[in-house]
Amino acid sequence: MVQTRERARLARLAAIPASFALKSPLQIKYDQVVSRIGKKWPRGFGSSRSRGIRGNGFNCYQNSALQAFMHQPAFLNWIMTHNKPIPNSRSNGVINPCSANPPAYFLSAVPPTCAACAFKVLINTYWNLNPPSDPIPCTAPGVVGLVQIGYDSGEFQRGLQLDANDFYNLLQIRTAVATASPQNQAVQNQAVQNQPPPNQPPPKQPPPNQAPPNQPPQNPPITWEGQYKALYHIRAPSTFVCHLCSHSRSGPILDEPSLILHTRQNSTSLLNELLALFDDDLVVACTNCNVNLARQHMAYRIEAAPHILKINLNIMNGGNATGSIQWKIRAGINVLNTLDLTHLQTHNSLPLTYKLSSVIAHEGSGRTGHYLATCRGPKDVISSLADAQREVVTQAHLTRNPQRIGTWSGDFNVHTATYIRDESQWTAAQRRLAQMVVTDLSYTNVLAGTFSSLY
């Protein structure tokens, strides 16, 4: 009852109806999962300096994707929980056990074949306490392991410069399956849930004279893949509404590890392309008014927004296994530092804003060109990184399209932008309401009943 009154008060402050569902059940689940993953730069990594990764003539597309990953604090914290021995465990338990390798495998000098294990090696090399060579050699085991995963997939060939976004996608997908078989994970994940999130002090014990807070019912265990989805997957169902008869029906569901914007030659801004993806007019058959060519409005709305939103501008297409790409969009598409997607949510009372973490950009006209990544690092220091080359740049440079680096004469067109969810501008009332949503028992029950199969 107290909570209901408090909720009504906060809703008034935030100017939203108290009875309104603030988040979709899946968004609540995503937010619960992400709240347990550290968002700060991992502690214990002494270097706060982004560094280059040496090129070998063809690996700039791989290096730039690796740079994007290395600049996502939640990803770094999450990966370090992969195949991690539980401290002081009598049963030699392991958190998020590897499908391929024994615990502590990442300390080995052999390049791992598991993407998450290889990322652990790379993270340790990249953000190590004792700074290794700067730039990192392309023969570093973490780099070699991740690059080899690309070659072993058959999608990438040695000696060819391929698409950085394709490599980024592959590593996302391979990381998602690094801990297998959810049924076997219940015990280990229980241990994760009982641990404080990284970078945060352990929860305070209530004073003895005070009653403990209400405990929400036990949730289904969170799997490695569930964590991956909450970090990267955007889920947006669509609706068609007929302009002739107003009949509404559901359309396809977008459920992807990145958004692909089909950039056009006259594109001006990433936001415009994104809005065009989410709201479009199509001419298709209407089953209600029986017209074959009825103008319909198709709208996607975000049911669950990930912590990390990867947007591919798809400026290149038509590549084949041996030849160069057939076309490339060179429009100076405006890339925003802050992306406000609040009104594209199915439940849009609480803000949904992202801040730009990195851009991957491409210079040239195909596989003879060059890639760079411009990334926001610790202490908001932004670096442009093209293989071994590193240049500290300004915020204005991060959103610049085309990008430039050093004395390189070419223009780098932004190809993939990675955004990280940013709640720094939320009001106190919005924060408190969002917390209430997570602890609200009725919502938690909805979750357990409906979405347990996903996790």
Per CB under 5 A, does 247 bind Zn ion?
yes
Kindly identify the residues of this chain, within the stretch 45-84, that bind Zn ion according to CB under 5 A.
Answer: 83
What strands, in cross-sheet order, belong to the sheet with 279-286?
248-256, 234-242, 291-300, 279-286
Dist CA 141 CA 87 (whole Å)? 26
Question: Considering only 160-168, 226-234, 246-254, 263-271, which stretch makes contact with Zn ion by CB under 5 A?
Answer: 246-254
| 87: three-class secondary structure by DSSP | coil
DSSP codes of every residue in 103-163: TTGGGSSSPPSSHHHHHHHHHHHHT-SS---SSBPTTSHHHHHHHHHHHHTTSS-TT----
Residue 288 sits in the site that holds Zn ion (CB under 5 A): yes
189 vs 312, beta carbon nearer Zn ion = 189
Tell me whether residue 297 or residue 432 sits nearer to Zn ion (CB atom).
297
| Residue 110 found at the interface with Zn ion (CB under 5 A) | no
- In sequence order, the 6+-apart residues with CB closer than 8 A to the CB of 13 are 427, 429
Stretch that binds Zn ion, among 14-22, 108-116, 144-152, 304-312 (CB under 5 A): 108-116
User: If binding is defined by CB under 5 A, does position 117 make contact with Zn ion?
Assistant: yes
Q: Is residue 98 close enough to count as binding Zn ion by CB under 5 A?
A: yes
Stretch that binds Zn ion, among 51-59, 174-182, 267-275, 355-363 (CB under 5 A): 174-182
CB-CB contact of 29 with 231 (8 Å):
no
Between CA 162 and CA 407 the distance in angstroms is: 24
Tell me how far apart the alpha carbons of residues 384 and 390 are, in angstroms, rounded to a whole number: 6
- Based on CB atoms, which residue is closest to Zn ion, 286 or 382? 286
User: Is 118 an interacting residue with respect to Zn ion (CB under 5 A)?
Assistant: no
Told to check if 375 binds Zn ion by CB under 5 A, we report no
Omega into 237 within 30° of 0, i.e. cis? no
Number of other CB atoms surrounding residue 448 within 10 Å: 17
C-alpha separations of 434 from 11, 178, 362, 429 in Å: 10, 31, 39, 9
**Binding of Zn ion by 114 (CB under 5 A):** yes
HSE on the CB side for 378, CA within 13 Å? 15
Does residue number 386 form part of the binding site for Zn ion (CB under 5 A)?
A: no
- Compare residues 101 and 374 and give the one whose CB is closer to Zn ion: 101
Of the listed pieces 53-61, 143-151, 159-167, 291-299, which binds Zn ion according to CB under 5 A?
291-299
In angstroms, the CA 296 to CA 375 distance is 40
Instruction: Assess whether the previous peptide bond of 135 is cis (omega < 30° from 0).
Output: yes
**Smallest distance from the beta carbon of 118 to Zn ion, in angstroms?**
8
Q: Which of 110, 245, 253, 285 binds Zn ion (CB under 5 A)?
A: 245
User: CB under 5 A: which stretch of 8-16, 284-292, 318-326, 400-408 binds Zn ion?
Assistant: 284-292
Among 186, 187, 276, 289, binds Zn ion (CB under 5 A): 289
- Over the Cα atoms of the chain, what is R_g? 23
Cβ proximity to Zn ion: between 110 and 244 the closer is: 244
Binding residues for Zn ion, how many (CB under 5 A)? Answer: 15
Nearer to Zn ion, 94 or 140 (CB): 94
Binding piece for Zn ion, criterion CB under 5 A, among 23-31, 176-184, 342-350, 395-403:
176-184
Stretch that binds Zn ion, among 9-17, 290-298, 371-379, 419-427 (CB under 5 A): 290-298
Residue 195 corresponds to which tokens in the numbers above?
């641990």
Candidates 178, 254, 305, 433; binder of Zn ion (CB under 5 A) is 178
Say how far apart CA 330 and CA 234 lie, in whole Å.
27
- Shortest reach from residue 43's CB to Zn ion, in Å: 22
The answer to the question of residue 282 lying near Zn ion (CB under 5 A) is no
136 binds Zn ion, rule: CB under 5 A: no
Q: Which of 8, 244, 276, 428 binds Zn ion (CB under 5 A)?
A: 244
User: Within its chain, how far is the Cα of 170 from the centroid?
Assistant: 14
Tell me whether residue 16 or residue 180 sits nearer to Zn ion (CB atom).
180
CB 396 within 8 A of CB 376: no
Q: Are 330 and 279 in contact (CB under 8 A)?
A: no
Binding site for Zn ion (CB under 5 A): 83, 98, 101, 114, 116-117, 178, 242, 244-245, 247, 286, 288-289, 294
